[in-house]
Chain A
Amino acid sequence: MKLEREQLQMVLALFVVAAIAAILLGLTDIVTREPIAAARKEALHRALQQVLPAHTNDPQAEAVDVDGKVIYPARDHGKLAGMAWEVIAPDGYSGSIRILVGVHPDGHVLAIRVTDHKETPGLGDGIVRNQAWVDSFRGRGLDDVRWKVKKDGGDFDQFTGATISPRAVVKAVKGALEFYRAKQTAIVGRLNGNSESVPGSAGGGE
């Protein structure tokens, strides 16, 4: 069967449009790739500053990978002062909540910070805006408090009209501490063993 002239024109037109679009996207990608990476790094840096204690190293450069979690260490003149990694609460009110949890080497929370969420403004977004609530995690270890919101018989406040978001965050932070308790030797060993290791270079364990 021979292609009609008209059909050829259609194919050609769509091909040219798609090709131009592809070139445009490729060029934009070349221009924006580095700024996007820099913006991500800067956003992470700002978040890390808020959950890690004073440190003299570059936590992002010294990150290690333990069981698929990228752990950012904070060292004060070489001594491990704390670490942070991101946990994901899959059960937010609208989608996942990503939380950066700063943990002291002895296993209590230094600070938490929500890095990404889609919770309702004015209700569930108290997990970001309500500083007193965010601070209520500070210094808490796994056995210090009951890791539930008050409505569920725990020690953490929920918000008026919003229980689901704080509940999800409390659960995720508790999960982070449980992860640390289970893997503490592996994590601390990795962090102290080779400070120059690269994320993703190897699985956990000593």
Chain B
Amino acid sequence: MNKQEVFADGFWKNNTIFVQLLGMCPLLGVTTSAENGFWMGAATLLVLLGSNLVVSLVRGVIPKNVRIPAYITIIAAFVTVVGMLMNAWMHDMYLILGLFIPLIVVNCAILGRAEAFASKNSVSDAVVDALAVGLGFTFALLLLGGVRELLGQGELFGFPVFGESYPNVLMFILPPGAFIALGFILAGVNLVNRQLKLRADAAKAKAVNADAAATVAVEAG
């Protein structure tokens, strides 16, 4: 796979949230607003970058039997580092995200990338993969957070969008709203993917037809 394919795969085709449905705990837990979703995604992206980088660096050195504890140690170290950095320089957001920061350790998407990708690929590929998967994850959290904030409070990033008279649909801020909004987003993603596939198939069919027509023309000629 070249870098472009690695990126497309991590960001969209195998998006952690939209396709693999991993990392549901932070997704549903913190996405009450676009800002929370964004920073949770950014924290996860940083951890993923660190862990993919290091796991790829030490691939082949770690004996197979102890690779999982080794990966988890690496991930936990980066999670703690990111937690401390946020505590120091983004204190308010650190307090808001609270317990969900240390819980990044158990986001199976991160261990999944370490095990399935970083441990088998070059450092540069692993970094691209981390960026792609992390950005895909951030995008998903941002999208869900934005939808919930917009419908639940009529705001986006804390700025009023629908005005004073908007009746806040509280349900979207509460946990059930997270599931409902996620369901509609997944349906939308599937719709987009189907359109993309139809278009790709059509293009392929056209190419084949053109090929066939050309062959026929050549034979007839």
Contact = CB atoms under 8 A, between A and B. Distances in A.
Interface residues of A, number: 28
B168 A32 contact: no
B73 A13 contact: no
Contacts of A18: 73
B169 to A, nearest CB: 9
A29 interface: yes
Nearest to B90: A39
B43 to A, nearest CB: 14
A4 to B, nearest CB: 11
Contacts of B183: none
Nearest to A118: B98
A13 B173 contact: no
B66 A32 contact: no
A35 interface: yes
Contacts of B174: 120, 122-123
A13 B62 contact: yes
Contact of B88 (A9, A10, A32, A123): A32
B198 interface: no
Interface size class of B (residues with CB under 8 A): 20 to 34
A28 B78 CA distance: 10
Contact of A28 (B70, B76, B84): B84
Nearest to B85: A32
A122 B168 contact: yes
A40 interface: yes
Contacts of A116: 95
A52 B141 CA distance: 39
Contact of A40 (B61, B73, B89, B91): B91
- Of listed B74, B81, B89, B174, residue having the most chain A CB within 10 A: B81
Contact of B62 (A17, A32, A36, A40): A17
B84 A32 contact: yes
Interface in A70-92: none
B77 A25 contact: yes
Given A14-B70, A120-B173, A161-B170, 20 more contacts: A10-B63, A14-B69, A14-B73, A17-B73, A21-B73, A24-B81, A29-B84, A36-B87, A39-B87, A39-B91, A42-B91, A43-B92, A116-B95, A118-B98, A121-B32, A121-B153, A121-B173, A122-B153, A122-B174, A123-B173
Interface of A: 6, 9-10, 13-14, 17-18, 20-21, 24-25, 28-29, 31-32, 35-36, 39-40, 42-43, 116, 118, 120-123, 161
Shortest 5 CB-CB contacts between residues of A and residues of B: A35-B88, A21-B77, A39-B91, A32-B88, A122-B173
